[in-house]
Amino acid sequence: MSSPDNDSGSLPRHYLKPCLLLLLAEGPSHGYDLLEQVRRLGIKGAEPGGLYRYLRSMEKEELVSSWWEPSQAGPARRTYVLTDRGTKALDSSVTALRDIRAILINVLDRYDGLSPRAAAH
């Protein structure tokens, strides 16, 4: 069953936070750019409203900071940057993701080891 939270081949929305931390570790960015990048990372259900709520929440947690930056072509845009606390949160997220990856590899290897008939059920 497919849903916006987890379309086949896409990450669930709760992976948005570590993805945003990673993208901001790569450098400062604007909200719309971040939205496009998280979609390319595999979070297909990411929407502007949810992304900006996450960013505001992350700012309250002091994981990111932001400021308004004038734009030559249109209204000012908010620029986001990772803080030291955000870097530590990214490190923790990556550790957890590595643990999840190990579990998933284990599950997939065991599944692949099933006989073809058992795997079909």
Burial 3-40 (b: 16+ CB within 10 A, else e): eeebeeebbebebbbbbbbbbbeeeebebeebbebbbe
| Cβ atoms of 63 and 56 closer than 8 Å | no
Q: How many CA atoms lie within 13 A of 66 on its CB side?
A: 21
- The model's pLDDT over 80-89, given as tens digits with 9 standing for 90+, comes to 999 999 999 9
All domains in the chain, ordered by first residue: 13-120 (1.10.10.10)
- Assigned token pair, 69: 């930056």
Against a cut of 0.85, is the pTM above it?
Answer: no
Over residues 43-88, the pLDDT tens digits come to 888 899 989 999 999 999 999 999 999 988 889 999 999 999 999 9
